[in-house]
Structure formats: C-alpha cells, structure tokens
Structure 1
Amino acid sequence: MADIQQGVLHLVQDKLPLVLSTAAVFVAVILFQTFLAKNPLDAIPEVGTELGSNEKRRQAFLFNSRALYTEGYQKFKDGVFRIVTSRSKSPVVVVAPKYLAELKKLPDDVLSFDGAIEESMHAKYTLLDVGNPAIPHTVKASLTPALPRLSPALSDEVRLSFLSELPPCEGWTPIRINQKLLRIVAMVSGRIFIGSELCRDEEYLDAAISYTIELTQARGAVDKLAPWKRPFLASRLPEVRRVAERFKQADAFLRPVVEARKKLGPDEKPDDMLQWVMDNQGRFGDDSSAKLARLQLGLSFAAIHTTTMTATNAFYNLAAHPEITTDLRSEIRDVLAAHDGVMSAPALQAMKKVDSFLKETLRFDPPGVASFQRKVLRQFTLSSGQTIPAGVVIEVPSMAISRDAAIFPDPERFDHLRFYKLRQDARERGEAETAAQNQFVSVSQSSLTFGYGRHACPGRFLAANEIKMIVATAVLLYDMRLVDGVTERYPNLVFGSTSVPDPTKEVLFKRVAE
C-alpha cells in the first residue's frame, strides 16, 4: 500500500506544473471574459444614463417611458439604442423602423416572438400559455375565412349587447363606457369563441372579463418587483395567485360543455372557435378540458383586452369631437342603404371613413410605446454593421414613429380623415398597394400596432370587424359628448410600456331617432 501511495505522489508531483499552468490559463480566461472582454452592448448607446442607477432608470420607464423612447428615437433615428425597462430580465435594444424589412426575414431561431412575450408578460409567473400552435393555426385556417359568413350574426350580437347593456339614454346620460364595452366585447367575442348559447352566460362573461383584468394586474404586480426579487416573491403575489385560481374556475365551467360537444355528430357541431379548436386539438397534443379552458382564457385576453382599449379610445375621440359622429353617421347610413341594411363584410369594407377614424385612433393613442418585440437567440448583424448580441430583446419605437412629423404631417392633430385622404390620393395615382397599406388592418413600418412580418396579429381581422360594428352601431344609435365641464379628450394612462384609456371616465350618451 505504501508503494502505491508513493507512486501516486510522484505522479502528482510530475504532473503538478501542467495542472497548475492549465488552471492558471482557465482562471485567466474567466477573468478576461468577466472583466476585460468587450461587451457588445457597449457599442449601443443608452438613453436615460443621466438619471443615475439602473433602478432610477427603471422607475423612469415605469412612469415616463414615452419620453425615453421619443428621446432615443430622435437621437438615433437611423440606428439603435438601449433602454432600461421593468418588463424584461434581458437588456432591451430599440431598433429603427428602417431595419424591419431585414428583421422580418430572420428565422425564429434567431428572433423569437414567443420568447419576447414570455418575458414581457412574465409568463413564468403569470402562467400565460405562450407558443401553443393551436390558436394561430385555428385563427388563420378557420376563424378568418369564417368572418364573411359570421358578420351578420356578429352585427346582431353587437346591437343586442348595446341595447341590453346601456340604459335608454332618452336624455343625456353619463356612462362609464369602458365597463360597458368590456361586457359588449366579451359577448361579441364569445359569439365567435364559445357559441351563441353561452356568450351571454354570466359565468362565462365573468371568467372572460375577470381573467383579462387579473392577468393584466398580475403582470403589473410582477413589473413592480425588482428583477432579482421575482424568483422569490412573484409566485406569492396575490395577483398571481388569482390567475392560477381563475384557471381552475374556467375548467370547472367549461368541462361539461366540452364533454357534451364530444358526443355530437358531425352535422350537430356548432360553428365557433371552441369547436374548431376541439376538432383540431388532437394534432396539437393535450385535448383535455383544462387545456381548452386555458386556450379560451388566452383568446379572451387577446381579444377583450385589446379590442376594448381601442373601442374605448374611439368613444373618447367621438365624445371630444362630436362633428366626427355626424360625418361617420352619414357614411354608415349610405353604406347600409346600399347593402340591404346588413353589416356584411362588403358593407364594413365600404365604410372607409369609419376605417380611417379607427386607424387614426390607433395612431394617436396606440396601446403601447413599442412594437415588434423579439428575443434574440443568436447574434446577428444589421445592414449598418451594428451587431445585436444574443440574449437581448429588440423592439421598434412605434409610439414615437406615430408622432413623427416627417411621416405624419401635423402629428399632434387628430384627423379622422387622415387615412381616408391618403387612400383616396393613392387610388387617384393608381397606387393600389399604397392605398391598401392605409387600411385599419394593414401593417407597415409606420403602422405597427398589429405587429409586423409573419407574426403580425392573426386575429386583427376579427378585431377590425368587431370594432367597426361596435362604433358603427353606437354612431347610429347615439349622439356622444364629454361630460359638462370637460373640454378636451381624456388623456390616456401610460404605465411602463402600456398606454390605456382611463377606465374611470364617463361619456354622455343620447339616443337618436333611427
């Protein structure tokens, strides 16, 4: 045994110089990478450095993000800049819109749409179902093609919802319209998502509306936590716990509906999103009622949250500019007279002034300061030579773009005919593609609310139909104005990356003769 120990000792002594030199090289490499290697982010300028620490810049983002994005956009209009946000654990790099054409060509293993959503919505903690292919597939393959045949039914649902949710309004009546629109949008969306027999069910409406609110609250609560605290505290937040409980309640509500539908024959199946998903769920894996409940809540969040915000913004604009209502009402009446009084798909397409008004609403009050969020999974280089490293989230400053005078003359003025005139001028020049780019549903480098590229919102066609029907129906039924003493349009509330209409404000409604 002593001989063996002596032999091992000699071996170690012989190899010790090699071991030490290897360890020294390893330590040197680590030190170089940690302290001496050039950080690729150092070549990207950062806005808000004058504010001091990262925490101070994070607070500035929470309460004045628009100023930070506008500053960066104006200083680095043809380049990129960094910004400290509260949404993501990854550094955020803001890219000029001129690069969108090349960015949209990069594959998903370079730029990840789902990865950006997971971070911005804190999906790890809020349990948002990200990346499930069933929803985009069903929306593109089944929902969008079905819109022409479903438009009359949706229009009826909109009108019934207004008459049931709003009081008679025989005189000027104050209404907190955001609350009413939540229910109206939930009913109308539910007509598509879960069917006519359930879209007015109070249990469904509570689940759809409450989940939208609760998920937004959960995201906001996690936003307020410093990133290093989130792994320890986020899952214990009461807002996050409420989201988890909502999943259980939705499953309990939906399970008997799903089980009943599984027993239906081919000719008995309803024509709605729930059935389309059920028919295709086998190809996407789990077809349990719990999974379908999460999918339905995900659909409700995507539809109700964004559609209600845009519709509320539209109503605030109508109340602040009553002359717009008069102009739109004339167009709507003429269009319906030419389409047998039905808000069919062709009729909605013919409402070009309504379309322009809604697109101007998106331009003037977009739902966020940035768009085209993507997580960078592999480093790439822009045509300018600027390297974007892996691990960052990129985005485009959509709100700053929408107020750029070089793109939109007189950008601080709300012009409901702005895009109507652009379409008219383009058609007169024979530029059909340019005219099409100025439609409400169109995406371009200057209109980014619905995203850009292959991941542009697939549900925007349904959203456009719903919002047009809601606005057109309201314009036909009511006059609108601001409450007494208010002379200007209610300002939106900006918190972090989001801009939302103040849900507490009232609008005066008065029924008009039809």
Structure 2
Amino acid sequence: MAQTETLLQTLAAKLPLLLSTAGLLLAVFLAQVLLKENPLANLPVALDDLPSDEKRRQAYLTRAKDVYTSGYKKFKDRVFRIITSNKYHVLIVPPKYLNELKNLPDDTVSFDGAIEQTMHAKYTKLEIGHKLIPYIVKSNLTPSLVRLNPTIAEEVQESFRREMPECDDWTPVNINYKLLRIVAMVSGRVFIGPELSRSEEYVDAAINYTIDLMRAREAVDTMRPWLRPFLANRLPEVKKLNERLAQADAFIRPIVEDRRKLSKEQAPDDMLQWMLNGQSEKFGGEYKTETLARLQLGISFAAIHTTTMTTTNAFYNLAAFPQYVSVLRDEVREVLAQHNNTFTSPALQAMKKLDSFIKETMRVNPAGFASFQRRVNKPFTLSNGQVIPADVMIEVPGHAIAQDPEFFVNPDRFDPWRFYDIRQKAREQGAVEEAAQNQFVSVNPLVLTFGYGRHACPGRFFAANEIKMIIANTILMYDMKLMDGHDQRYPNIEFGVSSIPDPTKELLFKRVEIA
C-alpha cells in the first residue's frame, strides 16, 4: 500500500512534465503534417473561377465536357486537377506524356483499379482483375475472326430479319432498342453459341444486365462518397442489379455445368468453351462456376453496351447526313462483288470509307470525355519533373484532344471521309505506319476511344467487324432519315464523364428498291 502511494505521488509530481512533453510531441507531429508539401498543391484546377470544390463537383455532374475542354485549353501542356463526383483526386495528364504512361508497370498505375473505382465494383459486384478474358480474346477470339466473319455476317442478317419491320414505306424505328437486341444476338452467337444466343432468356439477361449495371453505377456516382458505405446497397438501382445478377446467374450457371461434362469432340466452338479450356491450360486450375457465369455477364456488358452506343451514334449521323448513305452503299456493293458477296476479313478491310465514317463518328461522338483511366498505386515522376502521387486517378482528356484544331482541321465539323483522306495521303507519301494508325481499329493517341497501350480494348477487332457488318447490311437494305420536323442530329445525353446517344429517339427507315 505504501509503495502504491509513493508511485502515485511520483507520477503526480511529474505529470506537468509528462503533459508538456506529450503536447510538444503532438505539436511537432501537427507541424510536420501541416508543413509537409502537398504534391497536388502546385497543380491548377479546372473551373478555378468557381468559388468552391462543391460548385466544381456539381459542374462535373451536369457539364463534364466543358470541365475537361476548358481545363485542357487553359492548361494544355500541364497536369491539372478536376473535381468529380467521387472522393478521390483526378489528375488530367496531357497527351504528350502518353508514351511515358503506357510504359509504367501495372503495380504503379492500375487499369483494373480504375475500373473498380469508376464502376463502383464494391457495390455493383462487377468482376475485376481476372486475366482469363483478355487472354481468351487475344489468343482465341481475334485469331478466329477470319474463320468466324461469314458466320457473324449470317447472324447479323438473321437478326435483322427477326427484329426489323418490313419498312415498305417510311417506318419509325427505335434503332437503339433494335440494335441492343441485334448486338446481343450477334455477340451471343460467338460468346455462348447459336442455340442459346437467340433465346429470349439470354437476350434479356445480356441486355438488361448491362442497363441495370450502368443505372446502378450512375446512382452510386450521384451519392456523396461518405454516404456510400452506409446507403449505397439500399439504392433501388443497386437492389435491382442484384436481382438481375441472381436471374442471370441462374440462367448461365447450368450451361457452364453442362459444358464441363462434354468431351473435347463434343465441345462447341465459342468463347464460353474457350474460357473453359483456357482456365486450366493457362491459369492452372478451374474457375468456380459462379465466377465463369459472372465473367460471361462481364463480357456481355463490355461488348453490348459499347458496340450498341457506337453503332447508334453512327446511325444518327447517317440519318442526319443522308447524302453520305449512297456513297457508302456503292462502296459496300463494289467490295462485296469483288469478294464473292461474302463479308470476309479482306472485304471488311477494303471498305475504307465505311471505316472512316465510323472512326469519325467515334471522334465526334465518343462514349466518354476522358480515356486512359488509371489508379495510381505508387508515386512516379513525369519527364518534366511533375510528381504524380499515389492514391489518385489519372486520365487523358480524349474528347478535348479530338477537338483540338492543332491536330484536326475544322474539328467541330463532322467529316465522314476525314480518316479516309488521311490514309490515302499517307499511302501516296509512303507513310505506311501513319496510314495504318488511322484505321478504325487502330490505337491512336489522338482518337482514344479504344484506350492506349497494352490495356487498349482487346475486343476492338471483333467489335469493329460486327459494327461494319451491321451498318453495311442496313444501308444495303434501307434508306434512313430523321423523324419529320427534325433537321439536326439528335444530341447525345451527357452525364458526368459519359456521353450516350439518346435511346428514346426514332429514325425513319424505308426498304431500298432493288432494280
């Protein structure tokens, strides 16, 4: 008892000293934190004329295109910041650093990490980080296109017979809705086989999973970041997505289980089977059936959503500029006549004006205003000495670059033969690489729709062929125009970084009379 009293007296005597020492240590720590250089402090911010970050956040949600464009024009050769709807910092990097960025390792800048954050994978349950899909696309799908293109063309024609009305006279058609179904069936023919790809259950799962996923992502995007851990899973859009996932899993999982029982000789020649073969051959083990089912949904999302948007944008441009339809129709007819009326790979490559029309559509009407999204996991330094810290997102302002008069003459004008002319001129000058860079499928630092570097969209070759076949078949069969009372192209709907063709609009179609 006496020892305890002595200890307490000693502590009481030294308490002021202990408190002052603790206070000193706390003061030193706070000084270090406050005086530590903020690596973002020297970076300008887009819309710096607005009074607060909250105002900039609201501007991003309602007019993101202006945010990227104004920032690019004002800070063209500098890294600058934008304030988005998310809690993480987003840094916009000029295109001149693209070659530096593409050479950085994945553990420094993460493609998957960017998708996880922008798609809110924690709440939307999007499968991220699996290497199987890009491997199968590069090693199986793309090399098989020479063999598969005639089959894909047949599926396009069959899908049109199923989906399009007769159109003996001018007939209104919601082309975005029809394209969703056509693209789902055509893609499904390659992804999961002809027996299943035309079934309403598959088409419904493939289309509506994509739609529900994007709605859930947008709903989470509009929620304040600090509220998401508590309330995001209660959002009606997220609940509906979860129901859709359960329905799609219930449809796809039995198919995967049946495929596992087939012998090599019985196995179909489609992407699902390539996945089943490749998982053990390349990755040393079997994926769970549930995972394979989710990956199939992910493939549908990547293929159907982007392909439909690009094709719808192209149709809106065809209807707005009907004078170009006859030029494209003549090219398609001429090329097919030279290739036994078959959509072979050489035939598709020979449709150079069609190729240019689609690429110009992607330049003027991209799916988003930024490209090359990466999450920075480790700090790195650009060649100008600018340090990019960890735990930020980086982007390249793709749309602003594509609208820069330094790179494109009259960039505000839709010029369908822009890339055709560039390629022709390059060939005449012997610039083979420049000619190749301006094809629709090419990864070009000035038109970043397919991304850039080793993570550029691996499925772009399949998507390009599918889009060309859909447009070529349409212009061979139909004339098209805007609805009565409209003389301008339908404007896209813009939300945050995204820009989508208005899915509610109709076009008028009339079957071409064959002489």
Give the structure-1-normalised TM-score. 0.96
Q: Select 2:101's aligned residue among 103, 114, 117.
A: 103
Q: Report what 1:429 is aligned to.
A: 429
- 1:247·1:293 contact (CA, 8 Å) conserved in 2? no
Number of residue pairs aligned between Structure 1 and Structure 2: 512
| 1:424-467 superposed Cα distances (whole Å, 9 cap, x missing partner) | 00011111100000000111210101100111111111110110
Give SS of 1:430's match.
coil
- 1:254·1:293 contact (CA, 8 Å) conserved in 2? yes
Q: Report what 1:155 is aligned to.
A: 153
Q: Report what 1:61 is aligned to.
A: 60
The 5 A counterparts of 1:76-225 are 76-86=75-85, 88-225=86-223
How far apart are residue 38 of structure 1 and its match? 2.5
Give SS of 1:51's match.
coil
How far apart are residue 242 of structure 1 and its match? 1.5
Q: Report what 1:230 is aligned to.
A: 228
Q: What is the letter of the counterpart of residue 269 of structure 1?
A: A
Give SS of 2:81's match.
strand
Distance 2:79 2:222 in 1: 26
Distance 1:13 1:5 in 2: 12
Q: 1:191 to 1:14 in 2, by over 3 A?
A: same
Q: Report what 2:404 is aligned to.
A: 404
Q: Report what 2:298 is aligned to.
A: 298
- 1:154·1:191 contact (CA, 8 Å) conserved in 2? yes
Q: Report what 2:42 is aligned to.
A: 43
- 2:205·2:248 contact (CA, 8 Å) conserved in 1? yes
Distance 2:25 2:193 in 1: 64
Find out whether 1:336 has 2:336 as its counterpart. yes
How far apart are residue 350 of structure 1 and its match? 0.9
Q: Report what 1:326 is aligned to.
A: 326
Q: What is the letter of the counterpart of residue 77 of structure 2?
A: D
| 1:185-204 superposed Cα distances (whole Å, 9 cap, x missing partner) | 00011011111111101001
Distance 1:24 1:222 in 2: 42
| 1:240-288 superposed Cα distances (whole Å, 9 cap, x missing partner) | 1111222211121122222221221111111111111111234275533
| 1:85-108 superposed Cα distances (whole Å, 9 cap, x missing partner) | 11x321111011001011111111
Distance 1:293 1:260 in 2: 13
Q: Report what 1:268 is aligned to.
A: 266
Q: Report what 2:450 is aligned to.
A: 450
Q: 1:125 to 1:380 in 2, by over 3 A?
A: same
- 2:156·2:182 contact (CA, 8 Å) conserved in 1? yes
Distance 1:286 1:230 in 2: 34
Give SS of 1:294's match.
helix
How far apart are residue 352 of structure 1 and its match? 0.7
- 1:254·1:289 contact (CA, 8 Å) conserved in 2? no
- 1:251·1:289 contact (CA, 8 Å) conserved in 2? no
| 1:380-412 superposed Cα distances (whole Å, 9 cap, x missing partner) | 111111111111101011111111111110111
Could you tell me which runs of 5 or more consecutive residues in structure 2 were left unpaired when the two chains were aligned.
none
Distance 2:20 2:181 in 1: 71
Distance 1:378 1:22 in 2: 35
Distance 2:15 2:102 in 1: 54
Computed over aligned residues only, the root mean square deviation of the Cα atoms, in angstroms, reads 1.8
Give SS of 1:131's match.
coil
Find out whether 1:462 has 2:453 as its counterpart. no
Distance 1:284 1:41 in 2: 43
How far apart are residue 11 of structure 1 and its match? 8.6
How far apart are residue 15 of structure 1 and its match? 11
Q: What is the letter of the counterpart of residue 408 of structure 2?
A: F
| 1:73-92 superposed Cα distances (whole Å, 9 cap, x missing partner) | 11111111111111x32111
How far apart are residue 7 of structure 1 and its match? 6.1
Distance 2:436 2:119 in 1: 32
Q: 1:84 to 1:284 in 2, by over 3 A?
A: farther
Q: Report what 2:29 is aligned to.
A: 30
Q: 1:22 to 1:286 in 2, by over 3 A?
A: farther
Q: What is the letter of the counterpart of residue 78 of structure 2?
A: G
Distance 1:5 1:145 in 2: 85
How far apart are residue 22 of structure 1 and its match? 6.0
Could you tell me which runs of 5 or more consecutive residues in structure 1 were left unpaired when the two chains were aligned.
none
Distance 1:9 1:281 in 2: 71
Q: Report what 2:394 is aligned to.
A: 394
Q: 1:289 to 1:30 in 2, by over 3 A?
A: same
Give SS of 2:196's match.
coil
Q: Which runs of 4+ in 1 moved over 2 A?
A: 1-17, 19-26, 32-38, 49-55, 280-289
| 1:216-236 superposed Cα distances (whole Å, 9 cap, x missing partner) | 000110111111111111111
Q: 1:267 to 1:5 in 2, by over 3 A?
A: farther
Q: What is the letter of the counterpart of residue 311 of structure 1?
A: T
Q: 1:48 to 1:285 in 2, by over 3 A?
A: farther
How far apart are residue 377 of structure 1 and its match? 1.0
Q: 1:12 to 1:382 in 2, by over 3 A?
A: farther
Distance 1:22 1:447 in 2: 60
Q: 1:322 to 1:347 in 2, by over 3 A?
A: same
Deviates more, 1:381-390 or 1:346-355: 381-390
Distance 1:22 1:245 in 2: 58
The 5 A counterparts of 1:464-503 are 464-503=464-503
Distance 2:466 2:243 in 1: 30
Deviates more, 1:93-102 or 1:224-233: 224-233
Q: 1:45 to 1:492 in 2, by over 3 A?
A: same
